[in-house]
Chains A and B, each alone.
Chain A
Amino acid sequence: MMGNLLEHMGVERDRLHFSWISSAEATKFVDVVKEISDKVRALDTDKKFAKDYTK
């Protein structure tokens, strides 16, 4: 539901990710993090939830 609401607000779905990873599954953790980083990078440098103190 959180993902749906974010998406409804116009935040891309790929910015939120849920996974079950056991503490023993280090490689899965690495893979998931890689996958998320790649997806988020692909979404462009969007500053929707970033503050700007230069203003």
Chain B
Amino acid sequence: MDTCIEKIRTICADLLAKGKVQKVIGFAEGSIPMASRPIAVTSKEDVAKLVFNATCGLNLANYVSDVLPKEGKIAVTAKGCDSRNLVTHMVENQVSRDQLYIIGVPCTGMVDKRKIAALFEDEITDFIEDGDTLTIVSPQKKEKVSKKDVLRHNCRVCTHRNPVVFDVMAAEPVEEQSLDQPFADVDHIAAMDPAARWAHFQELTKNCIRCYACRNACPLCYCPTCFVDESSPQWVGKGQDKTDINTFHFLRAFHCAGRCTDCGACVEACPMGINVRDFTRKLNKDALELFGWEAGLDMEKRPPLDVYSPDDPNDFIK
């Protein structure tokens, strides 16, 4: 992916120089190994700050509606999943197509930082990416790994690596993956008995500190007042009682039903390493099976729980 960054920078410098966009939202180099940070670039001198690599795991669609100018456009670099969330934003009227200049970036996946950290007993001091080869250094050892082996789970099961909407592409499209068992993780949980499933989710969220990083990193979560912050009525308690934690995770996930693109930003952001995708993946699977729906692919259609169709499955109503 490092070849596309020169093209991204050239495109952005040109857009800014010609005044076609007021700012560019992209990623910049982080201050510690294996980190990157979202950045807004407004001058062509600053485009050199832009990077794109396997640590850019957040979803930039999350930043778009906060910085929309009254007039004119902003540019945003978008991986496959970011572009699907931009579509979702457009369908849900958070942003309109003509406010955006989308720089599509074909993506071969983001790395699972926890998986890499787990390969080391001490802390990682350097991380170099060269195509599929990652060189990772700690005081004790230097390790070369293949990026394919340390991809995040959502990237391993991604079937939309190429942006679905764009004004310009920063590189040639990459080959899409085809999967035999796209929802093996969901099936694995579904195969357990109810008590084991309950135990699985209890164990999953037991370290949750309710920082709401999962919610805030999610481009779908743009409600002015989230249900957890509402005080009249107060839907959910604010403490560390497991009932409240369960309620938060269950409802947060359900609010993403039929809208989630499985971009993985929630898991990427979680400081406690909780795979909150265990909730949303089930919904994604059901959306596909019940409604033939994958979010963020069609600019003309509202998500399935937003619309009524006589063909909707309704055997749950008794």
Spell out A's residues near B (CB within 8 Å). Answer: 1-12, 17-20, 32, 48-51
B interface bracket (residues with beta carbon within 8 Å of A): 20 to 34
Contacting pair B237 A10 (CB below 8 A): no
| A5 contacts across to B, CB distance below 8 A | 250, 253-254, 257, 279, 282-283, 286
Question: A18 touching B282 by the CB < 8 A rule?
Answer: no
B305 touches A12 (CB 8 A): no
Instruction: State whether A8 touches B317 (Cβ < 8 A).
Output: no
Asked if A4 and B195 sit within 8 Å, CB to CB, the answer is: no
B318 neighbours in A (Cβ, 8 Å): 17-19, 32
Q: Are B283 and A49 in contact (CB under 8 A)?
A: no
Interface residues in chain B, defined as those with a beta carbon under 8 Å from any beta carbon in chain A: 186, 189-190, 194-201, 237, 241, 243-244, 246-247, 250, 253-254, 257-258, 279, 282-283, 286-287, 290, 305, 316-318
A19's partner among B200, B244, B290, B317 (CB-CB below 8 A) is B317
CB distance from B244 to the nearest CB of A (A): 8
Q: Is B199 a contact of A10 with CB atoms below 8 Å?
A: yes
Would you call A4 and B282 a contact (CB within 8 A)?
yes
Nearest first, the 8 closest Cβ-Cβ pairs linking A and B are A10-B198, A10-B197, A8-B282, A18-B317, A10-B194, A9-B201, A1-B286, A51-B243
- What's the Cα separation between A20 and B314 when bound, in Å? 11
Closest to A16 in B: B316
Extra contacts, 4 of them, besides A5-B279, A8-B190 (Cβ < 8 A), are: A1-B258, A5-B250, A10-B199, A49-B246
CB distance B241 to A51 under 8 Å? yes
B residues near A18, Cβ cutoff 8 Å: 316-318
Q: Are A9 and B250 in contact (CB under 8 A)?
A: yes
Bound: A41/B161 CA distance, A: 48
Q: Which residue of A lies closest to B197 (CB)?
A: A10
- Report chain A residues within 8 Å CB of B254: 1-2, 5
Chain B residues near A3 (CB-CB < 8 A): 316
B283 touches A10 (CB 8 A): no
* Alpha-carbon gap, A2 to B255, bound state (A): 10
Check if B194 sits within 8 Å of A12, measured CB to CB: yes
